[in-house]
Amino acid sequence: MCLKGFCFQAGDGARRLLSACLLLTVAASAQGAKENANLPTASEIDAVMQSLSAITGFQIRKQLPFQLVTRDEVNKFLKDQIRHSVKPEELRAEETTLKKFGFVPPDFDLQKTTIELLTEQAAAFYDFHRKKLFISDWATQNMRETALVHELAHALADQNFPIQKFLGSGGGSDDSEQSLARESVVEGQASWLMIEYAVRQSGKTLKDPATAAEYLKDQPDTGDDNAWPVFSKAPLYIRRTLMFPYEDGERFQQAIFLKEGSAAFARVFDQPPASTAQVIHPDRYFAKVASTTPELPKPIRHAKAFVTGSVGELDQRILLEQYLDSGSAESLAPRLRGASYRIDENKRDRRQMLLYVSEWEDAAAAGLYFNAYQRVLRGKWKQLEVTSQDATQFSGKCEDGYFSVTLKGTKVFSEEGFAAPLTSGAGV
């Protein structure tokens, strides 16, 4: 359920992706102090590109232009990109989806938060459209040096596997799972190369288990509230999806590298993962375990589909962690086989209704999720009145309207936000 129009992504609590046509990155160790260091020279950039080419086997096809930019210029650039790349209806669809699932509060402003997040920490970015590197004038020396390698890795990959085309060919505009998986290839590889480049300066490599254990360990989602106030206050879903392509993508790249060596860098572009589950579990990638797409019933009378999409393992992990706990998320989410959602809109009163079906590896897992999702609903809504409840059905009314959740075999089906009581489980 990645944000389709301009997918947020980040790593180490401080990096993210604006996938419309822009990548930005920043080092996690920044302290916020200004150091007006000089721009890197063309020869320094060329030297880094040569090193990255030696690691990946990618060819350097042309020299990379670069430019210094101010924070205001970054802010303006982001606003222009969103205005030109994201239609208002797409933005509304993204916001609606996040709110209907309960990932963000009702007053959440997606566009405003996006711009603030990216402007807050953008040390450097590579513009895939203009094929040019931009370096912010406010970033510290350490931030610039770290971000530079990451962005040059993007530039080198782009010269061999056009990134805009790669990110845009994930199987359709509503296939957010494939889109997020592909973004994990782009950001994960650049993050991995940033570390490999650094450790090679001291004669080490991530191929060594001890080095990998030291440098690829999980980063806690804490962050400096003073240095990164927007990020630290963002909803859990925003923070997790910002971090995923960098952290999980980095580990995914490591797994492919250990199995295939230098061939791994091209393979992940030629044969990208198809879902967040394949990124989280590389063994599923190698085994080509595909997610299912359970069907949903047709819209009711006077309603039409407003937005459709898939719900992957990452989404489930975040939802369960937000409304239950991290232990439930870790144990149950990997048992998901696939899930689909659709938000219908009534033509007359503009009422929006969520239809959501998830399929699990067995009936036991589905039963666990049926119970867990009841807790999600109780946490998502302030006023919930249960009118019917048994081992396979849970229905009632809340401030959003009537709802019904049904367990049938390995599937859990939820209908939410309807104007009248529902016939439970009709779509399972």
* pLDDT (average), residues 342-358: 94
* pLDDT (average), residues 20-48: 54
The dihedral built from the CA positions of residue 415, 418, 423 and 424, taken in this order, carries a sign that is positive
What is the reported pLDDT for 78? Answer: 74
Phi, psi of 412, deg, nearest 5: -125, 125
How far CA 13 is from CA of 30, 41, 223, 247, 269, in Å, comes to 11, 29, 6, 10, 25
Checking if the pLDDT of 331 tops 50, the result is yes
Pairwise pLDDT comparison (41 vs 274), residue with the higher score: 274
Share above pLDDT 70 across residues of the chain, in percent, rounded to a whole number:
84
Pairwise pLDDT comparison (92 vs 284), residue with the higher score: 284
Q: Which range, of 11-15, 315-319, 367-371, 386-390, averages the lowest pLDDT? A: 11-15
Helices (DSSP H) in 261-411: which residue ranges?
264-270, 276-280, 282-287, 313-323, 326-332, 363-380
Pairwise pLDDT comparison (140 vs 405), residue with the higher score: 405
* pLDDT (average), residues 339-344: 97
What is the reported pLDDT for 336? Answer: 98
Pairwise pLDDT comparison (188 vs 427), residue with the higher score: 188
- Select, from the ranges 102-116, 119-133, 247-261, the one with the highest average predicted confidence (pLDDT): 247-261
Helices (DSSP H) in 68-140: which residue ranges?
71-85, 88-101, 110-121
What is the reported pLDDT for 389? Answer: 96
Checking if the pLDDT of 56 tops 80, the result is yes
What is the reported pLDDT for 23? Answer: 42
Pairwise pLDDT comparison (117 vs 404), residue with the higher score: 404
Q: Which range, of 46-55, 66-75, 102-111, 388-397, averages the lowest pLDDT? A: 66-75
* pLDDT (average), residues 1-22: 32
Checking if the pLDDT of 86 tops 90, the result is no
**Spatial separation of the C-alpha atoms in residues 162 and 344, rounded to whole Å:** 36
- Work out the angle at residue 215's Cα, subtended by the Cα atoms of residues 264 and 55, and round it to the nearest 5 degrees: 35
**Spatial separation of the C-alpha atoms in residues 175 and 172, rounded to whole Å:** 5
**Spatial separation of the C-alpha atoms in residues 103 and 111, rounded to whole Å:** 16
What is the reported pLDDT for 71? Answer: 78
Q: Report the interhelical angle of 110-121 vs 236-260 (nearest 10°).
A: 60
- Select, from the ranges 8-12, 133-137, 223-227, 351-355, the one with the highest average predicted confidence (pLDDT): 351-355
Checking if the pLDDT of 24 tops 50, the result is no
* pLDDT (average), residues 343-351: 91
What is the reported pLDDT for 257? Answer: 98
Pairwise pLDDT comparison (99 vs 67), residue with the higher score: 99
Checking if the pLDDT of 402 tops 90, the result is yes
**Spatial separation of the C-alpha atoms in residues 380 and 403, rounded to whole Å:** 13
What is the reported pLDDT for 32? Answer: 35
**Spatial separation of the C-alpha atoms in residues 71 and 76, rounded to whole Å:** 9
Which domains are present in the chain?
A: 16-287 (no CATH), 303-418 (3.40.1000)
- Work out the angle at residue 177's Cα, subtended by the Cα atoms of residues 172 and 178, and round it to the nearest 5 degrees: 55
What is the reported pLDDT for 5? Answer: 29
Digit-coded pLDDT (tens) for 227-280 = 678 888 999 999 999 899 999 999 999 999 999 999 999 999 999 999 999 999
**Spatial separation of the C-alpha atoms in residues 151 and 26, rounded to whole Å:** 10
The mean pLDDT of the chain is 85
Digit-coded pLDDT (tens) for 270-327 = 999 999 999 999 999 999 999 999 999 999 999 999 999 999 999 999 999 999 999 9
Q: CA neighbours within 13 Å on the CB side: how many for 75? A: 9
Pairwise pLDDT comparison (351 vs 82), residue with the higher score: 351
**CB 16 within 8 Å of CB 125:** no
Q: Which range, of 190-199, 210-219, 259-268, 380-389, averages the lowest pLDDT? A: 210-219
Regarding pTM above 0.75, the answer is yes
* pLDDT (average), residues 385-393: 97
Checking if the pLDDT of 136 tops 50, the result is yes
Which of 259, 247, 248 shows the shortest CA–CA distance to 283? 259
The dihedral built from the CA positions of residue 153, 155, 161 and 166, taken in this order, carries a sign that is positive
What is the reported pLDDT for 221? Answer: 54
Checking if the pLDDT of 38 tops 90, the result is no
* pLDDT (average), residues 337-364: 96
